[in-house]
Amino acid sequence: MPPPAADLERLKAELTAEIAAAGDADAIEKIRVAALGRKGTVTELMKTLGALSPDERRVRGALLNALKDEIAALLEARSAGLADRALDARLASESVDVTLPPRPERIGRIHPVSQTMDEVIAILGDIGFAVAEGPDIEDDWYNFTALNIPPDHPARQEHDTFYLPGERESPGGRARMVLRTHTSPVQIRTMMRAKPPLRIIVPGRTYRCDSDATHSPMFHQVEGLAIDETTHMGHLKGCLIEFCRAYFGIEDLPVRFRASYFPFTEPSAEVDIGCTRVGGEFRIGHGDDWLEILGCGMVNPRVLKNCGIDPARYQGFAFGLGLERIAMLKYGIPDLRTFYESDLRWLRHYGFAALAQPGLTGGLNP
Ligand code: DAH
């Protein structure tokens, strides 16, 4: 290595200090131009090499080239350091603290139908049922025929059911279009699509030509279906007793199964819960009275056969309940029509806070 030249050492010390003090990309660029640019200090020194003897030129030329490379490297490093610092500052200022608790929304309310639906899904989901859906516009094969409802059944008559103009091709041939009168057709759709074991619940809208304080032309039901090789009436009873007690939050709520009839189940039952009648109102719990809340039964073998499931191998149970009805009973809402009047005062009174999501761990209604 040639001996260092004092003037170059001084220049290097100056530039190094300047680079270290540069606070941003502009300052770095200014130093680069002043040192290495066309008229920069280092470049100007290069130009003086021509006047030297060949020996001197070799020594000084090597020193100048080394200086040029060192300054370029220092500029580069400082510039990268500044970019990192700028990124760190941005990350710090733009960071989001995901550990912050959510701020409850004070304005909107959850409608009692949505809340009740979530409660039912939380309870039955915990028992092992998955949510299934089907279309609101059905045809009479899915809605009636496949469910073993005979052609002359009153539910099929014009004045109870919203028929739509037109027919379509259905698994049982041409079928009239209809707004589903219950969620039971989703039993058929599920069994035709998938093989047992099946465990589904179907919350959804249903439609009937009916309107008074306890009937609305559009209302909601939840259907349940469990099919397996050994599913029996004991499972049906255990499951629905558990559901009624969890939903009403009464551990020893009396639950009664009363023999009944549905074309799609055999045997069939209606489920009553214990209550007391005080004036015109019900108080759910122990008492000397009973209140019907849902229908159920063992799936009729004919229904299984209609869906291509072998009734000699599979059996199971089904149930159906009205969502508004159980909401009215639990929350003391006297008139069904008010559910659909969109009256904000009603919603503020009967509605639920946005974050009051039902769950079995936090309680159904925190
Ligand atoms: N679909 C019936 C109705 O709308 C309710 C029902 C009763 C559904 C018994 C069922 C059942 O699955 O097994 O009134």
Per-residue pLDDT of 113-159, as tens digits, reads 999 999 999 999 999 999 999 999 999 999 999 999 998 888 888 77
Instruction: Kindly report the protein residue whose alpha carbon is nearest to atom 8 of ligand 1.
Output: 320
Q: Is the CB of 315 under 6 A from ligand 1?
A: no
For ligand 1, the distance from its centroid to the CA atom of residue 260, given in whole angstroms, is 11
How large is the average pLDDT for residues 198-214?
94
Pocket test for ligand 1, best of 184, 199, 206, 304 (most atoms within 8 A of CB): 184
pLDDT band at 1 (very low <50, low <70, confident <90, very high): very low
How large is the average pLDDT for residues 195-206?
97
Q: Is the CB of 149 under 6 A from ligand 1?
A: no
Instruction: Kindly report the protein residue whose alpha carbon is nearest to atom 3 of ligand 1.
Output: 182
Q: Is the CB of 320 under 6 A from ligand 1?
A: yes
In this predicted structure, the answer to whether residue 3 has a pLDDT above a threshold of 60 is no
Q: Which of 45-49, 105-109, 192-196, 303-307 has the lowest mean pLDDT?
A: 105-109
pLDDT band at 74 (very low <50, low <70, confident <90, very high): very high
Residues whose CB falls within 8 Å of the CB of residue 285, separated by 6 or more in sequence, listed in order: 248, 250, 253, 274, 275, 276
How large is the average pLDDT for residues 204-222?
93
- pLDDT > 90: what percent of the chain? 79
d(CA 329, CA 341): 19
Give the neighbor-by-neighbor strand order of the sheet with 137-139. Answer: 137-139, 173-179, 163-170
Q: Is the CB of 243 under 6 A from ligand 1?
A: no
CA-based max dimension of the chain: 122
Q: Token pair 């559910």 is at which residue?
A: 339
How large is the average pLDDT for residues 45-54?
91
Q: What is the pLDDT of residues 240-295, one digit of tens each?
A: 999 999 999 999 999 999 999 999 999 999 999 999 988 877 889 988 999 999 99
Q: Is the CB of 263 under 6 A from ligand 1?
A: no
